[in-house]
Structure 1
Amino acid sequence: MADPDDAPRPVLSDPRLAIVVRSDDPARTAGRLQPVVDALAEAAAEAVVVVFDDDDPEALVGQVEGTDGVLVWADPLTGRGPRSALDSVLETIAGTGVWVSADPRVIDKIGTKDVLVTTRHLSWGSDTHRYPTLRDLRQEFPARLAASGTRVVKADRGNGGSGVWKVSLLHEGDGCGTAAGSAEVMVQHARQRDDTHVLTTLDEFMAGCAPVFVAWGGSGHLVDQPYAPRIAEGLVRCYLVQGTVVGFALQDPPATSPVATDKGTPRPAVLGVPSPKTMVAPDHPDFSALRRRLEDEWVPALRDGLDVSPEELPLLWDVDLIRGTPTESDPDPFVLCEINASSVIPFPPEAPAALATAARQRLHSIVRGVGTRPPRSGARSAGRDVGP
């Protein structure tokens, strides 16, 4: 009798994937994803772009019917609000046996600002805290602001700088280790792509955060971290396909001159870093040490700490880092700013081919594991007529 282990493995010869897009400009997003479609075609994988309709979310189930995998580019927030409805439908689709990347449950772990808190013990971490409620913010934030002088407050979900504020205490605390509610603060919103800021009181700032806590069905919240002064030097964005670095981007802020405000307060440098990205190849020698730290230290520790398997990592994601203060033990440190796993655009030229290869490998591993491919029904996918 033949050994079952010697039986031929099933082969997925013609994988089909749907690329789901949700953004304020889906046609533009789809156009920017054409290199991904082309790379999948080169890898003998058919891909079709499907635009998610917030007015009819359940339609997505039919639009991706007959596909083996769904790749998602969806901003956390658009003019239509959060992506809650999309995430619910994606979970339904994943339950039918279709591979979804990135799975909403994985995004909840690594693609929200909560990752700043859950990985603060790593060498990229900082004194970061989570505020589940407005009451927690009022009770805990004043003391931390008094201790730091400046902190960056972030909504748990957002994109394009939405829900991110730099808060600076203009005068010392009250001598009791905290800042009074009437204390004057300078607030700069990262969404403003310049050095615009407002002067207000700490109480007024915290009261203005109230809408964050009612977002996402009441699960919205804030995190904060100390201000990293070397943000003035820009960000280093590290692109990964699952656990492998596929490139970097340097995002340098434009030069800004310190200009005194009417109260003599230095005007802050641009917080949103609104500058073009300079793409850098993954094997550039200047980034070899950073690449090793990502692949060998930070990403494995991230997976272990958050219980995410290598296969569950997003197909394409990025890690934004700010240069930290050098020490004797770490002469070139970095501080985690955020992780983007929802809609990574733009990306390095090396990314599409690596993504296509990883997608095929993942689909083949699924087939080998279960012995069959996900069921298909219907002569064709409804999504083939829904592209932008």
Structure 2
Amino acid sequence: MRNKVIFFEVQGGNDKGADGYRKDTMPMVDALKERGMDAEVIFFDKEKEDEIYNYVSTNALAYVSRINPGNLKEEQAYFEMLRRLCQDGVIGMPHPDAMIGYGSKDVLVKLKSTTLVPDDTFAYYNMEDFKHQFPKSLAKGERVLKQNRGSTGEGIWRVTLVNPQEHQQEIPFDAQIKCTEAKDNHVEFWQLGEFIEYCEQYITGDNGMLVDMPFLPRITEGEIRLFMLSEKPVYVVHKKPAETENAFSATLFSGAQYRYDTPDQWSNLVENFLSELPQVMTLLGGYDLPLIWTADFILDTDELGQDRYILGEMNCSCVGFTSHLTLAHNVAEEILSIIKKNKTVTA
């Protein structure tokens, strides 16, 4: 009889506490048990995949994935097991294809038809397209390139022409460019063609890809992260880059300052984003929203001089909330609500 919620983790990684678990996992397990729902943690291991699959498909009402993909060598095997579990009727939080859709950087290209993303945003999956389009993109002004892999700003570059000229349709490969990496705001100077070749490392390999979008100068006012529980905004993190020359990174490592706000302090952003959510869900495959996820925004200005919020990225694979562990109770309530809703639908 299915009567459990299974939390998937993986052994090792720098996101674990002294007990070997993520610091925000056991609080959720305990909060579910307080509410009468059995819950446990299983560490995914490719060697034990069949055993894990059989146990979870037999005993679980739902699973909650708490694995950072960067800590998982057998990502495809893990996702395939999750797909099988969802096909068996286990409620996926999230479904693996929702995890991929909401967590990949090219989500921005998929959402260009919404008000959340600029029209001149591109994704490159091969060097030919990158070499063809990026010199044209750069002719329009400063750009940001984002690799699909990595974290904490690694492989995210602000690219600026050293000597911009008016009316250029395409930047020549020998043009000098200034490149600032979000990881630590360090600056490198390149010829455009050499930098394009350097970026091949981001495009090649499994899940290789680069996103190319306009640089938004108002990033210096801060990046705004919405922390979401399904369709409910819970809190907002305002991440202001360090006030030093060239700084545009909103990571703690780079010296950004974080402030925690309530959603009503950002009511315009929240209302606009929630109004777009139905279309976002449709464009990303029609899956249920992830259980715990974030959406990051940067301020821009529209043609009428009004504030506009541009989506920078979304994350849902393993969003942490170790600074707000009391949220475990909110998460437990949301899990129970999702299970109840699914039981009603399938009844």
TM-score (ref. length: structure 2): 0.86
After TM superposition, the structure 1 stretch with the greater mean CA deviation from structure 2, 231-240 or 356-365, is: 356-365
Amino acid at match of 1:269: A
Q: By how many angstroms is 1:33 displaced?
A: 2.9
Q: Does 1:269 align with 2:247?
A: yes
1:183 aligns with: 175
1:279 aligns with: 260
- Conservation of the 8 A alpha-carbon contact between 1:249 and 1:280: yes
- Distance across 1 between alignment mates of 2:300 and 2:326: 28
Q: By how many angstroms is 1:114 displaced?
A: 1.5
Q: By how many angstroms is 1:213 displaced?
A: 2.7
1:195 counterpart SS class: coil
Q: By how many angstroms is 1:344 displaced?
A: 0.8
**1:268-347 equivalence runs, <5 A:** 268-274=246-252, 275=256, 277-282=258-263, 284=264, 286-295=265-274, 297-309=275-287, 312-325=288-301, 327-328=303-304, 331-346=306-321
- Give the 3 Å change call, closer, same or farther, for CA 141–355 of structure 1 in structure 2: same
1:247 aligns with: 235
The share of aligned pairs that are identical, in percent, is 24
1:38 counterpart SS class: helix
- Conservation of the 8 A alpha-carbon contact between 1:173 and 1:180: no
Q: Does 1:166 align with 2:152?
A: no
Q: Does 1:366 align with 2:331?
A: no
Q: By how many angstroms is 1:62 displaced?
A: 4.9
Q: By how many angstroms is 1:183 displaced?
A: 1.4
- Give the 3 Å change call, closer, same or farther, for CA 326–54 of structure 1 in structure 2: same
1:24 aligns with: 13
TM-score (ref. length: structure 1): 0.78
- Give the 3 Å change call, closer, same or farther, for CA 160–33 of structure 1 in structure 2: farther
2:112 aligns with: 120
- Conservation of the 8 A alpha-carbon contact between 1:145 and 1:151: yes
Q: By how many angstroms is 1:315 displaced?
A: 0.7
**1:1-388 equivalence runs, <5 A:** 15-22=3-10, 24-28=13-17, 30-53=22-45, 60-62=52-54, 64=56, 66-78=59-71, 83-126=75-118, 127-148=120-141, 150-172=142-164, 176-190=168-182, 192=183, 194-216=184-206, 219-256=207-244, 258=245, 268-274=246-252, 275=256, 277-282=258-263, 284=264, 286-295=265-274, 297-309=275-287, 312-325=288-301, 327-328=303-304, 331-346=306-321, 348=324, 351-371=327-347
Amino acid at match of 2:16: A
Deviations along 1:79-116, one digit per CA (max 9) or x if unpaired, are: x6573332122222223321121112112322211221
- Give the 3 Å change call, closer, same or farther, for CA 169–81 of structure 1 in structure 2: farther
- Conservation of the 8 A alpha-carbon contact between 2:321 and 2:327: no
1:5 aligns with: none
- Give the 3 Å change call, closer, same or farther, for CA 168–67 of structure 1 in structure 2: same
Amino acid at match of 2:138: L
Structure having greater relative contact order (Cα 8 Å, sep ≥ 6): 1
- Conservation of the 8 A alpha-carbon contact between 2:124 and 2:203: no
1:215 counterpart SS class: coil
- Conservation of the 8 A alpha-carbon contact between 2:229 and 2:334: yes
Amino acid at match of 1:24: G
In the alignment, structure 1 segments of 5+ residues that lack a partner are 1-11, 259-267, 372-388
- Larger Cα-atom Rg: 1
Amino acid at match of 2:136: A
Q: By how many angstroms is 1:342 displaced?
A: 0.8
- Distance across 1 between alignment mates of 2:270 and 2:203: 36
Amino acid at match of 1:120: K
Aligned-pair RMSD on alpha carbons? Answer: 2.7
In the alignment, structure 2 segments of 5+ residues that lack a partner are none
Deviations along 1:26-64, one digit per CA (max 9) or x if unpaired, are: 523612333322332333222222333366655542563
Q: By how many angstroms is 1:247 displaced?
A: 1.5
